[in-house]
């Protein structure tokens, strides 16, 4: 079994559906580690243990998960569709951030802006290559430049997650520009 398979399943649990293994998250998105391991063993991976969980957290290239200090609790750093407060730090963004998406979403975004849809926040990258990689997960990629500093000055709030992903609630069309045409990605 690949670590990525475990990671995807843990992300599903901690970001969207803790009930599939019979656990609940607290108001800040934390899950009890012992309950998580027991639930994963019961529902999907009989061999799952603390050593595997630590490997998943340590080796996840996107640093999606965090333990508390004594490793008795774990949570996803961002990307939730369920209502939790992961205690994000409000920060002043850089001048420009980037949003990677699929080519099929370009016209809708140009007409209506970027909305979180089934997540709590819109995810933004600090560089174009990362945004392209994000867009590739959804189809042929397209990248938008976000006038983050101007948005912030206009009163929009920006947050940064534990793993360096920038987040905001929505992005009106006035603050975005298509910079990477889909056919050039």
> Which DSSP string do the residues of 58-75 spell out, in sequence order?
HH-TT--EEE-TTSSEEE
72 vs 119: CA distance, rounded Å: 26
CB 168 within 8 A of CB 160: no
CA gap 141, 100 in Å, rounded: 7
- The two tokens of residue 60 are 């996840």
Give the CA angle between residues 122, 165, 136 to the nearest 5°: 70
Please give the model's pTM, rounded to 2 decimal places: 0.70
Q: Buried b / exposed e across 75-87, counting CB within 10 Å, b at 16+?
A: bbbbbbeeebebe
On the CB side of 183, CA atoms within 13 Å amount to 0
Per-residue pLDDT of the chain (185 residues; tens, 9 = 90+): 788 899 999 999 999 999 999 999 999 999 999 999 999 999 999 999 999 999 999 997 778 899 999 999 999 988 888 888 777 889 999 999 999 999 999 999 999 999 988 778 899 999 999 999 989 988 899 999 999 999 999 999 999 987 788 999 999 999 999 996 554 44
H/E element, 144: strand 141-146
DSSP 108: H
């Amino acid at each position: 079994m690949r670590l990525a398979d475990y990671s995807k399943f843990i992300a599903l649990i901690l970001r969207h559906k803790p009930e599939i293994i019979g656990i609940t998250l607290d108001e800040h998105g934390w899950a009890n580690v012992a309950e998580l391991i027991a639930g994963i063993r019961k529902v999907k991976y009989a061999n799952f243990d603390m050593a595997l969980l630590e490997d998943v957290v340590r080796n996840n290239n996107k640093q999606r998960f965090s333990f508390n200090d004594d490793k008795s609790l774990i949570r996803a750093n961002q990307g939730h569709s369920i209502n939790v407060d992961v205690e994000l730090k409000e920060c002043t963004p850089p001048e420009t951030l980037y949003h990677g998406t699929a080519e099929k979403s370009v016209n809708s975004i140009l007409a209506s802006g970027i909305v979180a849809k089934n997540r709590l926040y819109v995810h933004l990258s600090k560089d174009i290559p990362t945004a392209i990689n994000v867009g590739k997960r959804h189809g042929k990629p397209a990248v938008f430049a976000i006038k983050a500093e101007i948005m912030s000055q206009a009163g929009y709030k920006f947050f940064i997650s534990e793993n360096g992903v920038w987040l905001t609630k929505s992005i009106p069309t006035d603050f975005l520009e298509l910079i990477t045409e889909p056919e050039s990605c």
